[in-house]
Structure formats: C-alpha cells, structure tokens
A and B are shown apart, each in its own frame.
Chain A
C-alpha cells in the first residue's frame, strides 16, 4: 500500500516535471519567436489580401515610414529594459526638430549652420535626456511622473521657440536625408539602420548595455554587485535622448518643417513597437532586436490597413489593442505580485 503510494507519487512527480519542462520549452519558444511569427503572418495575410503590398515601391515606403519610429524605439527600449518608462519621447523629439529647423537654413530667421544644427539638435535632446535621468534619480520620483513633466516641458519649449507656427527647413543637405537615395533607399532609412547597429553594439558589447539589463533584471541585485545604478540610469536616459534627437532630425527632414504637432502620436507608436516586439515592461527582458521586429509589425500593420482601405483613424485603436494584448501575454505574473 505504502510503496504503491510512493510509486504513484514518483510517477506523478515525473510526469509533472516532464509537463513542466514541456511547458517551459513551449513558453520559451513562444516568447522568443511569437513576434517574428506575427510579423510573417501579417506580411502573408496582407499580401494575400492585396498583392501590391510586396511591390518594391511599397516596401521602400514601409522602410521610409519605419525610419523615425525605429530610431525612437531604440532609445525607448533601453529605458524599458531598465524597468522604467519614458513618456518624454514627444517632448524630446519636438525639441530636436525645433533646434535643427531654427539653426539650419529656414524661413523664420537667417541662421545657416548646416550640419552643425544637426549636432546641436541631437546634443539638445541628449541633454534633455540626461536632465530627465538626473531628475528621476536625484529627486527620487518614478520615471513615468518625471518624464510626464519633461514631455510637456519639451513640448512647451519647442512650441514657444517656434512661435506657435510651422517653420520650414530649407537646408538642402539636411533635406537630402529624406529626398536623396542610396542603393534604392532614402538616406534616412540608412541613418535609422545605423542607429539600430549602434543600439545593438551598446546592448550586446558594452558595459552600459550589460548594466542596463542587470538593473532591469533586479535592481537590488545589480546594486549589491557593485553597479552604480544611479549613473547607469542617468546615462541610459541620456542615451535615449540621443536617439530621440536623431529621430527629431529625421522627422524634420522628412516633413521639411517643424511645428507644434510634429511629434503627435510618436510616443504611442514607439511604446507599441517596443512592447509588441516582446520587451517586458518589467525590465531585463527583450532588447533592440525585438524592437526592430516590433517596429516592423506596427509599420506594416499601418501600411496594410491603408492598403486594405481601413480608415487611418482606426490605426491608433489597433495600436492600443496591440499594446494591451502584448503586455497581457508577456507579463511574468509570478514576478509581479502587485501591479500599480
């Protein structure tokens, strides 16, 4: 009787272990590959519905409209990997766009600093990022509140400097980011790919990247292992600001002007891309490669909805539902006892 019981227990334990292993394997493959499968399925479905989707012209269009979101989302990925959030995306982007437009040749003043304007714009946005990091770590307030404040500070500054109107960008070499092509793709796309390569290098080959992952995985552990958490956080926000600045320059070049609404909807698209790509909001899981896939999903879905004749206004609704679905599916609920 007793042995039978023990045998039963053993058998139960073994099968339980096996199913647990199976479940784990399934979960790992699911989690890793799910965004990629979604991307492929999306492409196939849209192609079936409207074959003009895979025409080279449309693919270039997709690459072009993915350039700004990709650059933005690179920056945001590092912040989300930390387990924080950066809501100041739109503020930093509009500041960078404002700086580049006002310093390069434009129709509002006589400045003509050319490419110096680009560097100034990226620098301005980087400084804003560093300031965000300082505010968050020194005043010790949650990042969503600190960046909510910085979002509107940035927006206020840029609209104020532009005087509430749209200023046109006239510098031909900066405009070439959007107009000139190399190997069939607009230069801006190459810049975005460069940003992606840079982000990959930082994440996989630098100490900063490792530290960001470590902090996201467990801030207390990272701190105990001797990581200077405060410095890494400030640097990460600065890095994010750098990417937002690049995106600001790109979007100013693409639009050929800067105005109050240049950044509208960018935060939303960037958060969707990062989250849909599979980077966990809890931090320490995912990365810039995930985000590349996420950006492609978001951009291709938008493109496909236009091809299928869906009202473009519904796009935001679709993105919102995607955020909810992706976060709900990817959250590690065991680690997350209380959700605020």
Chain B
C-alpha cells in the first residue's frame, strides 16, 4: 500500500507531467530509428511534418479552450465547413475565399463561446450543439456532396502545396501559427488571463479579470484555427466536403491531452500540444508500419486519450467527478 501511495504522489508531481511527453516523443523517435534507420530524414520527415501540420493547427486552437477548463467538440464541423466554403468560393472570388472561410470559423467560434458563456450552457453540450448547427450548414451549402476544387481553383491553392527553401509551406504555416499562439499565451494579457481562468475561475473573477470575454476569445481562437486547418486540408486534398475533418476531432483532442495539458485547465500550453501532435502522428505512422489495421487506429487513440486524461487531470480542482 505504501508503494502504491508513493507511486501516486510521484505521478501527481507536476514536473513529471511536463516531462513525460517529450521523453515519450524521444523514445518513439528512437524506436523508429532502430526499426527503420534513416526513416526520419529528408522526404519522409517532411511528409510526417506536413501530415502533422493540420492536426497541430486544430489542436493548437483547442488548447486555448481546454486551458480555460472547457472543451470544444465543434472543431471538426467548423473545419469541414471551412473546406466547403473554400471549395465553393475559390472559382468565384479566387484567393478571397481563404479569408471568408476563416472568418466563418471565427464567427462560429464566437457563437460557441457566446452560447457557453452568456446562456451558461456547459461547453461540451454547447459545442456539440453548435457543431451540429455548423455540420448542417455545411451539408446544406455542399448539398451533401464532396466538392472537387477544379483546375482553375487549384492555381490559388498551389502555394499551400508548394515548398519554400525545401520546407513544405504547410509546415511553415503551422510553425508560424504555433509561434504566434505560443507568444500570445505567454506574453499577452489574454494569454495570462486564460491561464488564470483555467487555474481558478472564482479567483480570476475576484481579481477583476473579464472572465466572459476571455472565454469567448478562447472559443473564437479555436474556431478560427479550426477553419484555417480546414482550408489547408481542402487545399491539400483539392476537395471540400461536409465530413472532411470528422476523423480529426479525436486525434486533435488526444494531441492536446497527450502533450500534457490538463483537461481541468490552467496547466499546459501550445508547445506541449506541438509535442502531443508529433506523438500522435508518429504513433499513427508506427501503427501502419507495424501493420495495425487503419480501422483499429481509433481504438488506440481512444484508449490513449482515456489514459492521458487519467494521468494529467487535476483532481483537487473538481469536488465531484461527474
């Protein structure tokens, strides 16, 4: 029993939560290096990073929401809607389709935040509901079908699929977004407020922080980044579809949690999410490599999510676990 409680206090030590994900990432890279030397270099490395980019952008957005102690279950719908809008508008208004698509994400992010904060609907139900609203709109706009981006439109998406100095543009975009998010979290008032709200909402309120505005901003950021991820996905696949990103909700949330951001909020950050997204990508490649059926991937991600939540959650913050 003594060892059990020892393990427990050891596990709950803060430093460990921060250290596990990077260690895990290094171990995974080593395993791949041993199993297939030279696999993680040159072209395959770039492919891995480009595949991680979309996942990371989605996950970076959710990170903001999870940090304030909420959850966003609408990101896959928002990303799909953005892909549909992009595919529909590219032939008509060219590059302007990008800002319009991204703006739609911002609008629905604000809507989620507003429903959650002003109507006091718990975030998982609020975003489940707005996710349904958004998915319905996407189906309606696309008339239930996938829309191919034709030759004319593809000229405007080529820059996303291109490379700059040998590095894929998507990786550069993801890096840029990651850096902006990282510094916003660390050095802006909004970032500090988010952490404070996540760490203890009553204290944040008492300290005079505008909690509602901070929360709505977090949801807005999440929606906007989800839409950016959706446009990139559409550009890469040359198609927009109302269920294009449906398979990305679980990996995105798993990336945030596996990276070491606590579901209870207040602890974590975008850098951790980058590590988490890389872990998820490498595990995915590893699974195809080992020959695990692609359909069974969800089983692994689901289990990983549950385990990661169990490890990172701060139980002192919730009196009753519902």
Contact = CB atoms under 8 A, between A and B. Distances in A.
Interface of A: 82-85, 87, 135-136, 139-146, 148-153, 155-157, 159-160, 163-164, 219-220, 268, 271, 275, 281, 283, 311, 313-321, 323-324, 327-328, 331, 333, 336, 338-340
B295 A338 contact: no
Interface of B: 69-71, 115-117, 119-126, 128-137, 139-140, 143-144, 201-202, 250, 253, 263, 265, 293, 295-303, 305-306, 309-310, 313, 315, 318-322
Given A144-B71, A145-B263, A139 B310 contact: yes
B132 A319 contact: yes
A320 B322 contact: no
A184 B262 CA distance: 54
Contacts of B322: 82-84, 142-143, 219, 283
B129 A324 contact: yes
Nearest to B292: A160
Contacts of B137: 317
Contact of B120 (A219, A275, A336): A336
Contact of B136 (A84, A140, A316): A316
A340 B132 contact: no
Given A141-B310, A323-B129, A152 B140 contact: no
A314 B310 CA distance: 38
B306 A324 contact: no
Nearest to B312: A141
Nearest to A267: B128
A164 B253 CA distance: 24
Contact of A314 (B120, B134, B136, B301): B136
A340 B250 contact: no
B122 A268 contact: no
A141 B136 contact: no
B69 A160 contact: no
B296 A160 contact: yes
Contact of A339 (B116, B131, B202): B116
Give the 10 A-B CB pairs with smallest separation, nearest first. Answer: A317-B136, A156-B298, A320-B132, A316-B136, A320-B133, A313-B139, A156-B299, A153-B302, A149-B306, A328-B119
Contacts of B300: 156
**Which of B131, B133, B302, B319 lies at the interface centre, i.e. has the most chain A CB atoms within 10 A of its CB?**
B302
B116 to A, nearest CB: 7
Contacts of B293: 160
B121 A339 contact: yes
A314 B140 contact: yes
Nearest to B315: A140
A330 to B, nearest CB: 10
Contact of A160 (B123, B140, B299): B299
Contacts of B140: 311, 313-314, 317
A327 B202 contact: no
Contacts of A340: 69-70, 122-123, 265
Contacts of B128: 268, 271, 320, 323
Nearest to B301: A152
A328 B129 CA distance: 12
Given A153-B299, A321-B133, 14 more contacts: A83-B322, A84-B322, A85-B124, A144-B124, A145-B309, A151-B302, A160-B296, A271-B125, A281-B122, A319-B136, A327-B121, A331-B121, A339-B120, A340-B70
Contact of A331 (B120, B135, B263): B120
A156 B297 contact: yes
A209 B126 CA distance: 28
A316 B143 CA distance: 14
A314 B138 CA distance: 9
Contacts of B133: 316-317, 320-321
Contacts of B318: 142
24 contacts: A82-B322, A85-B124, A135-B306, A141-B306, A141-B313, A148-B253, A148-B302, A156-B295, A159-B298, A160-B293, A283-B322, A316-B132, A316-B133, A316-B136, A320-B129, A320-B132, A327-B119, A327-B122, A328-B115, A328-B120, A328-B121, A331-B119, A333-B120, A336-B120
Contact of A156 (B115, B253, B296): B296
A82 B141 CA distance: 38
Contacts of B124: 85, 87, 144
Contacts of A163: 295
B125 A275 contact: yes
A320 to B, nearest CB: 3
Contacts of A145: 263, 305-306, 309
A336 to B, nearest CB: 6
